[in-house]
Structure 1
Amino acid sequence: MPHKKVNWIELFYDLIYVAAIATATHTLLHVEDQTIPVEYMVKFILIFIPIWWAWVGQTLFVNRYGEDTNRDRIWMSVQMVFVILMTASLSVDFDTYYLPFLIGYLGVRLVVSIQYISAIQREVAERKMVAKFLGYGFLIGALISLGSLLFDSWIKYFVLYLGISVDIVVPLIGRKHIKKVPINTPHLLERFGLLTIILFGEFIVSIVSIIEVEKNQWNSIGILLLTFTLVMAMWWQYFDTLEKKVNKEYKTSGQLIVYGHLIIFMSMSVIASVIQLGFLYDIGKDVWVAIAFASTLIYVGGTSLVFHKYRYKTNRLKLKHYLLLVSVNIGLFISSLLLPVDKIIVLIQLACFFVFYAYITTKNK
């Protein structure tokens, strides 16, 4: 399969999502009575999923049908306007910004649907059938979400996310047909890698935020070294696997990459929030420790889910590796709860865990 190059407008498109991801991540920075209310955790999920799916929709269209023509660039430019509107409307106060958010999100999804329907005219055989299935399937999901305007109170949100859920499930329903038009694996992995870089940017924001307010210079240096070690270990584990350990010629529907990265991205956002929560907010230690190690374990699960199938067989982690990682995570979690250790020690444990994870994944042959 020839390598489809990421074009410049795709990179520009990604930058539009920087603010959207930041807004979703900052939703978790609401502490009341030394804990994060469940309400804000739910809102984090409800904000993050439409962002991820809006980005995925255009990325997958470009991957399968994009030709980097003037037509494609114009459609992507139109979509950027809707992405900006959607991003500007993201808020924990859903009611106030509901209409502009709905217009922005539906604009993004309708553009993708129109692109697929337009592709029907120029494609043949399986490619034509898949374009038709996805184009009209996504259109149905968008129309269901549009129907939320007919309702008030919680019902409109139910209808909105019912449409989003239908949208997300459409490719899964048609998987047996979609896999006949496999993704361009190198391009898709590169695109997700680029968005992962944006998520790593949230870690840098967290680190800088702490250093800016930390009065003790030695504490600042220590926190900087620990958090940056954690980030670099995550980066090393992810991108060493992406660049050296996966078979980019593997032809699939790409759904493991797409849906697995939702887990990766959400857990990364939570871990980035954990860094700030531990040192800038009055959050209970037990709550903070639980969120930190739970999100870390979810990240391990997400990266394992995405990359295991695509790894060369000689590079695949074995069951003993996964059991060891889970055991170490749980052990550090329990020790952090039971022992009288401060947050710096917990941060050291988190950094060491990610270094250990990077070591196992990069050295495994």
Structure 2
Amino acid sequence: MTSAFRIPMTGRSTDERHRVSSPLELLFDLTFVVAIAQVAGQLAHAGEGGHVLARLPFYFMVFFAIWWAWMNFTWFASAYDTDDVPYRLMALVQMGGVLVLAAGVPAAFDEDDFTAIIVGYLIMRLALVGQWLRAGIEDPSGRRTAFRYAGGIALVQVLWVAWGFLPPHTAVWLFPLGAALELAVPLWAERTGMTSWHPHHIAERYGLFTIIVLGESVSASAVGVQQALATSGFSASLVWIASAGLVLLFALWWLYFLEPAAEGLSSKRGRSFYWGYGHYFVFASLAALGAGLEVAVQAGAADGHASETAVEYSIAVPVAVFLLMLYILHAPLVDEVVIRPLKTGIAIALVLLLPLASPFLGLVGVTIGVALVASALVATTLIDRALAARSSTKEPTASRPLP
């Protein structure tokens, strides 16, 4: 950390030793805890009302805004974090924008009103443009790339402001176009030179955000337990579903951190966009899983023998998406993924088939079954690693010539 008022903003070294998240980055992440809690809570409310499919497009739209704002700050900080006073003040402005965005989530879901979200997004983007302009002025080697970022972000933001004046139904259909333009800005900007982001720092930042989303899922489950106790009282179904949910989230956390990313990002920097962009589905699926668990806890407490296929798939589908993306994102980065693809495929199939057995298992049985599948995937992967390690230690001895 530094107490200097101003440090020239130049690209940081890509092989800087012991590069970890700064206290400012950790504080910045806390604002996203609020935003993710809001969007996951709204999805849970939609699930409780039985109209989750109708509100799912709004969930993906709002989550994209949250995720993309975090992405932009994270990658910029990895390349240009000076931690001086101007940088910190710009980060403060961006944090304020996140909180404004979070405050507008209920209106977006309930009234199709994206005004507060657009205002919050505008605040964040103006601060980010200021950061890129500063980088372009103070870092001659990365000037063209930085100015391309600043211009591209500003132009797309103008389009978002105009998008806010469209009728809600028209705006929903045009949202993918705006999202595609957002994703295109970094691809276009870095054609003149890649920014000096740090692979180990980026991998750690993504891991921390994964923990944040998992934490929100735990919090959502706790909210579901609290509401279930208030409305239905204590029951064995409540205990089983809540416990299975906790085991499931723990298993998914374990699986995520089994797959290495830092070394792959270091040796294959050109695939960073693929890996970074694809994490949208990892984060969105985990947040949706939290909403599904919140609904499942309440539904199970109300009727422990009920067969709620829609609720069960609100757990199964996010888990399946998470497992699939875990393989898809890491396979291009490493020579061999840690979690075997065959085991991943079997786990995904079982998770998606379990709700079909709902007439026999019920909501409690399906939830426990999904948790057991994820736990079994962790266990078999650990066994594979142990066997591989034992085999590698025996090979030199086996090949040693006889005296």
TM class by shorter chain equals 0.7 to 0.9
Q: Which amino acid aligns with 1:104?
A: G
- Determine which of 266, 287, 297 is the counterpart of 1:249: 266
Query: Do residues 132 (structure 1) and 167 (structure 2) align?
Result: no
Cα pair 2:351 2:373 within 8 Å, conserved: yes
Instruction: Specify the alignment match of 1:145 in structure 2.
Output: 160
- Which segments of 5 or more consecutive residues in structure 1 lack a partner in the other structure? none
**TM-aligned CA deviation for residue 177 of structure 1:** 4.4
Q: Which amino acid aligns with 1:77?
A: L
Report the TM-score when normalising by structure 2.
0.79
Query: Do residues 183 (structure 1) and 200 (structure 2) align?
Result: no
Query: Do residues 265 (structure 1) and 287 (structure 2) align?
Result: no
- Determine which of 115, 128, 135 is the counterpart of 1:119: 135
Cα pair 1:308 1:317 within 8 Å, conserved: no
Q: Secondary structure of 1:144's partner?
A: helix
Q: Distance in 1 between matches of 2:40 and 2:268?
A: 33
- Determine which of 69, 76, 79 is the counterpart of 1:54: 69
Q: Deviations over 1:237-273 (max 9, x none)?
A: 1123358x95463351521332121101111112111
| Residue 55 to residue 188, structure 1, CA distance change in 2 (3 Å) | same
Cα pair 2:238 2:297 within 8 Å, conserved: no
Q: Distance in 1 between matches of 2:62 and 2:164?
A: 18
Q: Which amino acid aligns with 1:273?
A: A
| Residue 181 to residue 289, structure 1, CA distance change in 2 (3 Å) | same
- Determine which of 37, 56, 76 is the counterpart of 1:22: 37
Q: Which amino acid aligns with 2:29?
A: D
Q: Distance in 2 between matches of 1:266 and 1:251?
A: 25
- Which segments of 5 or more consecutive residues in structure 2 lack a partner in the other structure? 1-14, 386-403
Query: Do residues 351 (structure 1) and 358 (structure 2) align?
Result: no
* Corresponding residue pairs, total: 359
Question: Cα RMSD (Å) of the superposition?
Answer: 2.9
- Determine which of 221, 228, 233 is the counterpart of 1:207: 221
Larger Cα-atom Rg: 2
| Superposed counterparts of 1:63-212, under 5 Å | 63-93=78-108, 97-125=113-141, 127-148=142-163, 151-152=166-167, 154-155=169-170, 162-174=177-189, 176-177=191-192, 180-181=194-195, 183-212=197-226
Cα pair 2:282 2:326 within 8 Å, conserved: yes
The percentage of aligned residue pairs carrying the same residue is: 19
Query: Do residues 299 (structure 1) and 322 (structure 2) align?
Result: yes
| Residue 155 to residue 228, structure 1, CA distance change in 2 (3 Å) | closer
Q: Deviations over 1:147-169 (max 9, x none)?
A: 23554554456667644431222
Q: Which amino acid aligns with 2:310?
A: V
Cα pair 1:54 1:108 within 8 Å, conserved: yes
Q: Secondary structure of 1:129's partner?
A: helix
